[in-house]
Amino acid sequence: MDLEVSPALTIPAGELVWRFSRSSGPGGQHVNTSDSRVQLSWSPAESAVLSEQQKSLLRARLSRRLVGGVLTVSASEQRSQLRNRESALLKLAELVAAGLAPEGPSRRATKRTRGSDRRRLAAKGARSETKQQRRRPSAE
């Protein structure tokens, strides 16, 4: 089962590593006997479908999520292993798509308007006046 990240990128099933374990949480007696928790691992550095530029982009943007160059997601929200598999695939696809997405336009620095400066200073003056009125009168 290949993972389609975007129409232009599909990760082959051979590059995905699955691990299953017992999940904590609800499930009754069934929870102690089935391995419904899913861990899905994928190594972007060893992937054949990514270009070198995409690999370096993922390495930079997902550096906090990579452990030894491997991206791992886990899913244990559902009681069924099949649903957790689907959830893990979706999480991985979203992470990779976000890592490869182009950066949005950066903010263009603008100058404050004269009116906004006046309003800011008027508000500061009013606040200062309020605080001065709370003081005890000085003994002069």
Cβ-contact 71, 41 below 8 angstroms: yes
**pTM for the predicted model, two decimal places:** 0.65
Provide the residue ranges of all domains of the chain, joining segments of one domain with +. Answer: 3-100
Position 111 scores a pLDDT of: 94
Cβ-contact 48, 13 below 8 angstroms: no
Position 32 scores a pLDDT of: 62
List of the chain residues with pLDDT < 50: none
Q: Helices (DSSP H) in 38-137: which residue ranges?
A: 52-61, 81-100, 114-134
Is the CA virtual torsion 131, 136, 137, 140 positive or negative?
A: negative
Nearest to 90, CA basis, from 67, 79, 69, 74 = 74
Domain 3-100, second-level architecture: 2-Layer Sandwich (3.30)
Position 124 scores a pLDDT of: 98
Position 102 scores a pLDDT of: 85
